[in-house]
Amino acid sequence: MLESLKAIWFSPVTRTVLLLVMSNVFMTFAWYGHLKNLSQKPWYIAAVISWGIAFFEYMLQVPANRIGHQPGVLTLPQLKILQEVITLSVFVPFALLYMGESIRWNHICAGICLILAVIFIFAFKN
């Protein structure tokens, strides 16, 4: 049992997903956090701070993509769809909880389309 948990925990896919989730937290704050926190500051101040935050995003995202794109782990299209799903999985709570946005029916429909994209990219391999 412990060995199978270790195999899952240390698998390249698990490491890729965890690194991408962490990188997306940084990315989301770099891209959108300034809209709430720095809206009264000049745009170039927000840009410099966002670049600083994005540095940490790249420090996680680059190794994640290298781990995930090894032969036999994930194809490039699988890696991209995984990235998009993770991005929105991080963005939705950020938008709702941090930015105070509301969710609407078309957002749910878009989420369903993403689930279908995951099914198509992972289930129907060539």
**Domain containing residue 60:** 2-123
Supply 124's token pair: 């129907």
Angstrom distance (rounded) from CA 30 to CA 33:
6
| pTM (global) more than 0.85 | no
The CA angle 53-33-54, to the nearest 5 degrees, is 20
- Counting the structural domains of the chain, the total is 1
What is the pLDDT tens value at each position of the chain, 126 positions in all?
667 766 667 899 999 999 999 999 999 999 999 999 999 999 999 999 999 999 999 999 999 999 999 999 999 999 998 998 899 899 999 999 999 999 999 989 988 998 898 888 888 765
CA 17 distance to own-chain centroid = 8
Angstrom distance (rounded) from CA 23 to CA 110:
23
Q: Helix and strand tally (H, E) in the chain?
A: 6, 0
